Chains A and B, each alone.
Chain A
Amino acid sequence: MMFFDQILQGIFLGAYYALIACGLSFLFGVMRIINLAHGSIAVLSAFLVLSLAEHFGISPFFALLLAVPVMAAAGFVLQRTILERSLRSGPLTPLLSTFGLAVVLDNSMFQSFGANTRSLAPNIGDLSFAGWSGPGGIEVGQLAVLTLVVAVALLSGLQALLTYTPLGRAIRACAEDPETAELVGIDARHVYAAATAIALVTVAIAGTFLAMRSTFDPYTGPTQLIFAFEAIVIGGTGSLWGTLIGGIVLGVAQNLGSQVSPQGFLIGGHLAFLLVLAARFALAGRDWRGWFGVRSRAVA
């Protein structure tokens, strides 16, 4: 039963990883950029929601509603100032520039908010600890269930956006081939900016859940980036529902690892990631079908 409980909790943990990973995966799918500042931006939005909630004395969910347009605008600016120029200068530049951005963000947050660990848990009342008891002493937290529901809703929403809306079609076209998309009248620059804004909205949601379910500090970002990246790779790069599966596998591996030793939580996750990579290399030649319905291109 203990074992079953660990797997169940791992699934809920995985839902959070899917939340944090989907923005990273989305940007990678659209622009072939791995944004190394992704985790730092998630922590930044956590601080934003926390500040709004404390300043106005409102619920974090309401604060998140206020933070969403701010993060969307930030995404637009991020694309126009950094990503667009990086994309033009070759495949390595986005890695260099976003890593520089991560260093700036982490240390600026340290400068502004100090070293103390924070959490939104005190702001959500019962939700942070309330749960339902199942047979055999299994406890399911309400927040954990909410995380899973939001993750599934967000992934479905993104899928629907990509499949049914004109913007989604334009995003898929630009993901496939930006030059050809421009030939048929799509403004790739505009589409990329919209996609980055969408990605940062998902990051704002993920950041809020990070703050509600645990503590965070200005240097939490890099760890979140690594978890998000591991979830994506485990689930298959560029696959939407794969991200959820990847997150769950990561969460379960970490929870099972934590049963072995105190360091086992992280080691278990990293080993699961490496095993999946090794399996992928062993099966090399088969290509993954991405969530844009196109074959994943090699990333140079």
Chain B
Amino acid sequence: MKGAKDCEGAPAVRRWSPLSIAAIGSLVALLALLAFGPAYLGSYLTDRLTTLFIYVIMASMWNALAGYGGLVSVGQQAFFGLGAYLAIRLSYAGVNVYLALVLAPLIVGLFSLPLSSFALRLRGGEFAIGMWVLAELAHLLVNLDGLVQGETGISLIAISAFAPDARRSYNYWLALGMMTLLVVLGFFLLRSRTGAAIQAIRDNEDAAASVGVRVFATKRLIFVLAAAGCAAAGSLMLSTLVSFQPKTYFSVQWTAYMLFMTLVGGLGTFEGPIVGAVLFFLVETMFADTGVWYLIGLGATALIFSLFVPRGIWGTISDRFGIQLMPVGYRLRFRVPSNAGATP
């Protein structure tokens, strides 16, 4: 690639475009603005945005797994539920409640490391439902813990030691921080050498293996990241809902939400899940009280997108206009030689 510059008319390789620099710039500005959110947003918006941040984490993590790893999991609620459960466990063991909320996802990430050796040997549909079985098993085993009291559940009582306003701000900052951390981590991971491997696996696993990509190790990295990320979402959800009922947290509906956000936003694109999470958030805000019809609508939309708009909203826009706001790939630009017509 280095030689390309010397040769006129050769394609130029670049990552950044003025548009993506502007986009990242405004994103950093937006994050800075959001960091002071609790000061000017009011309690309702602060709570709602906390939920939005959790959705962004869930969508990005599911996308990392399905969009980049080629692993459709119907069992990510296993990690979501375990994240919340471990936070409860740690808190009742005397750990500071906010420390517990941070530690829980890390422990789930560690736990998913040995699990990946097993799960990643399943392929395609076997992986999808195999993960679902693991989620069901995790749910049943958590129910066996006397502390949880079965489906009755338990509350994160320690968090009520904080005044409601302070707690709201802390939850908000924790969610914002974790979302930023995970998204930035994902961004730099995808831009790295490993990222090239991940995208090669996404495009064609066998071809990637044939050019020396360590497929299993790379997939394992994604699996563990997605596990820890979903656990972070679970522990953050616990911080806002306070009560822990196994049935709620280990529900397959979380995977349905993740699938909806990722498919609508754009499977296998970096920006897509963020777009999808924002859309899901808006749809939920408007239609959640229509109950079952809302869920039917979500399922139907996911079905239609999977069949007719497989690249999702962002993927379609990005393909048509060649836009990448967060450049995780490389772009080729064919330059017209400045002295066109003259013999070199």
Chain A residues in the interface with B (C-beta under 8 A): 28, 32-34, 36, 82, 85-86, 89-97, 99-104, 107-108, 110-111, 222, 225-226, 229-230, 233, 237, 261, 263, 266-267, 270-271, 273-274, 277-278, 281, 284, 298-300
Say whether A267 contacts B137, CB under 8 Å.
Answer: yes
Say whether A99 contacts B256, CB under 8 Å.
Answer: yes
List residues of chain A with CB within 8 A of the CB of B298: 103
Total residues of chain B contacting the partner, CB 8 A: 42
Query: Which of A28, A95, A101, A226 is in CB contact (< 8 Å) with B299?
Result: A101
List residues of chain A with CB within 8 A of the CB of B301: 100
Query: Which of B130, B295, B307 is in CB contact (< 8 Å) with A89?
Result: B307
Say whether A36 contacts B310, CB under 8 Å.
Answer: no
Number of A-B contacts (CB under 8 A): 127
CA A36 to CA B304, docked complex, whole Å: 16
Do A100 and B252 contact each other (CB < 8 Å), given the known contacts A107-B292, A277-B130?
no
User: Within residues 295 to 326 of chain B, which ones have a CB less than 8 A from any CB in chain A?
Assistant: 295-296, 298-304, 306-307, 310
Interface SS of chain B:
helix
A-B contacts, 24 of them at CB < 8 A, read: A34-B126, A86-B306, A86-B307, A89-B306, A90-B310, A92-B124, A94-B125, A96-B306, A99-B74, A99-B256, A100-B300, A102-B299, A103-B295, A103-B302, A104-B296, A104-B299, A104-B303, A107-B292, A107-B295, A111-B293, A222-B252, A237-B126, A270-B133, A281-B121
Say whether B126 contacts A93, CB under 8 Å.
Answer: no
Say whether B307 contacts A267, CB under 8 Å.
Answer: no
Do A300 and B299 contact each other (CB < 8 Å), given the known contacts A86-B307, A95-B72, A278-B118?
no
Interface SS of chain A:
helix
CA A8 to CA B239, docked complex, whole Å: 48
CA A96 to CA B126, docked complex, whole Å: 14
Say whether A298 contacts B295, CB under 8 Å.
Answer: no
CA A36 to CA B131, docked complex, whole Å: 13
Mask of B68-104 contacts with A, CB within 8 angstroms, 1/0 = 0010101000000000000000000000000000000
Say whether A110 contacts B292, CB under 8 Å.
Answer: yes
Say whether B136 contacts A266, CB under 8 Å.
Answer: yes
Say whether A267 contacts B141, CB under 8 Å.
Answer: yes
Closest residue of chain A to B119, judged by CB?
Answer: A277
List residues of chain B with CB within 8 A of the CB of A94: 125
Does B144 sit at the interface, judged by CB under 8 A? yes
List residues of chain A with CB within 8 A of the CB of B140: 263, 266-267, 270
CA A28 to CA B125, docked complex, whole Å: 9
